[in-house]
């Protein structure tokens, strides 16, 4: 037996010295073990080789069983450690800094060469903090394009889960994400697109109790919701904090985009829509249906307006509303004015 163990040690040490892969070294030891077993099976009892290798195959089988148990135990422990350890995401592997590195400069090159954005505008995008309320039809394209554009910090608040009925228009989510919280699915998709973006998911409904503290951490709010109560809450809170809101709304074949920013001289949502629609007049997407690409058309316009507002490029939709009719392929822009008697942003409130 001493001879066999000496041969095994020699094989192992030579493999280490020659930097032979572990799998190859184990294979050589396996061949040695098979050779020893063959000696005990083929040669008769009392043969010098059998006597020199322990005299019986039983001892080697016991050693093999013990080795197998030890190996199996180590694999189980390794598996448990891997399950317990946090999974390293692309975001964790990326070194994020306040300034843009070479990879980011290359990533945003088409923005940087735009005269209206350039390097200073791209730096503003990197420093910007945008909160997107709703990760559904409108939130999907907004999140995709703001993250692709390099907005540094993006907050997402939504309490819904991904459903099959969402996938006809909510392109941020995949079939595999069905049943997942929309915030988690959105974070996953954003990091796959741009690992340099900080994503802050809030898996809950926006309420009066948390709105002000939450909004106070951001520079700009995106209204991608589909109900009046939340939309009015967004408007009231943003007006109180002096934050601009990029608004979007869709129904069936039509959509609209505007920026509510009284601090910049524009109206707020309540100036234009002081009263809620009568029951039955504003149907949900589930009730009335919606064209699949429509949220993309409106949402990308919302993302463009957000980028313009952050960088100072062009003329933002402050005091104007863009209206789209996909059925007849028509768009028009109308003027909207701030109302002095507005219950939310009017002079009586100041």
DSSP 3-state assignment of 328?
Answer: coil
Can you tell me the distance from the alpha carbon of 98 to that of 118, in angstroms, rounded to the nearest whole number?
Answer: 17
106: exposed, middle or buried (C-beta count within 10 Å: 0-12, 13-18, 19+)?
exposed
Q: What torsion do the CA atoms of 302, 168, 181, 195 make, to the nearest 10 degrees?
A: -60
pLDDT value for 83: 47
Compute the distance between CA of residue 169 and CA of residue 149 in angstroms, rounded to an integer.
21
Distance, CA of 350 to CA of 346 (rounded, Å): 7
How many CA atoms lie within 13 Å of 90's alpha carbon, on the beta-carbon side? 12
Please report the sign of the dihedral spanned by the C-alpha atoms of residue 258, residue 261, residue 265, residue 271. Answer: positive
DSSP-assigned states of every residue in 245-306 = EEEEEEEBTEEEEEEE-GGGT---HHHH--SPPPTTTS--HHHH-B-TTHHHHHHHHHHHHH
Residue 314: predicted pLDDT: 94
* Residues 6+ away with beta carbon under 8 Å from 229: none
**Model pLDDT, residue 297:** 97
Answer for the pair 141, 296: CB distance below 8 angstroms, yes or no: yes
d(CA 330, CA 335): 17
Give pTM, 2 decimals. 0.72
Q: Which residues contact 183 (CB under 8 A, 6 or more apart)?
A: 135, 156, 157, 158, 201, 202, 203
Quickly tell me which residue has 């945003």 as its tokens: 108
Distance CA 60, CA 33 (A): 8
Q: What does the alpha-carbon distance between residue 286 and residue 243 come to, in Å, rounded to a whole number? A: 31
Q: Which residues contact 348 (CB under 8 A, 6 or more apart)?
A: 341
What's the pLDDT score for residue 246? 98
Q: What is the pLDDT of residue 287?
A: 77
Provide the 10 A C-beta neighbour count for residue 79. 10
* pLDDT computed for residue 18 by the predictor: 72
Residue 89 confidence (pLDDT): 42
pLDDT score recorded for residue 87: 41
The CATH number of the domain covering residues in 103-349: 3.40.50.720
Domain regions of the chain by residue span: 2-84, 103-349
Residue 99: the pLDDT is 76
Locate all alpha helices (DSSP H) within 85-204, ordered by sequence.
90-93, 102-107, 109-112, 118-127, 139-149, 182-193
What are the average pLDDT values for consecutive 10-residue runs of the chain, which has 350 residues? 68 69 69 69 70 68 73 66 43 59 92 95 96 96 97 96 94 94 96 95 95 96 94 96 96 96 94 85 76 96 97 95 96 95 79
């Amino acid at each position: 037996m001493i001879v066999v163990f000496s041969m095994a040690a020699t094989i192992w040490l030579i493999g280490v010295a020659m930097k032979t892969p572990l799998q190859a070294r184990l294979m050589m030891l396996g061949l040695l073990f098979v050779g020893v077993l063959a000696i005990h099976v083929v040669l008769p009892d009392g043969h010098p080789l059998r006597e020199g290798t322990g005299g019986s195959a039983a001892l080697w089988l016991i050693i093999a069983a013990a080795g197998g148990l030890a190996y199996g135990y180590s694999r189980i422990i390794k598996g448990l450690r891997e399950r317990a350890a946090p999974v390293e995401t692309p975001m964790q592997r990326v070194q994020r800094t306040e300034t843009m590195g070479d990879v980011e400069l290359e990533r945003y090159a088409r923005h940087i060469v735009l005269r209206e954005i350039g390097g200073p505008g791209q730096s503003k995008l990197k420093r910007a903090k945008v909160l997107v309320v709703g990760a559904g039809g409108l939130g999907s394209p907004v999140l995709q394009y703001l993250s692709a554009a390099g907005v540094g910090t993006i907050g997402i608040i939504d309490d819904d889960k991904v459903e099959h009925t969402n996938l006809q228009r909510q392109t941020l989510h995949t079939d595999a994400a069905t049943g997942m919280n929309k915030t988690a699915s959105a974070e996953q998709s954003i990091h796959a697109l741009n690992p340099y973006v900080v994503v802050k998911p809030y898996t809950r409904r926006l309420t009066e109790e948390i709105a002000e503290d939450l909004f106070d951490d951001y520079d700009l709010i995106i209204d991608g919701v589909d109900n009046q109560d939340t939309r009015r809450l967004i408007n009231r809170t943003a007006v109180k904090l002096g934050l601009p809101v990029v608004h979007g709304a869709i129904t069936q074949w039509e959509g609209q985009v505007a920026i509510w920013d009284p601090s910049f001289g524009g109206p707020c949502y309540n100036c234009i829509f002081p009263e809620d629609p009568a029951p039955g007049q504003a149907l949900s997407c589930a009730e009335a249906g919606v064209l699949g690409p429509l949220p993309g058309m409106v949402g990308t316009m919302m993302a463009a307006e957000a980028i313009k507002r952050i960088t100072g490029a062009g003329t933002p939709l402050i005091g104007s509303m863009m209206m789209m009719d996909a059925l007849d392929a028509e768009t028009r822009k109308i003027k909207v004015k701030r109302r002095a008697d507005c219950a939310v942003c009017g002079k009586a409130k100041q």
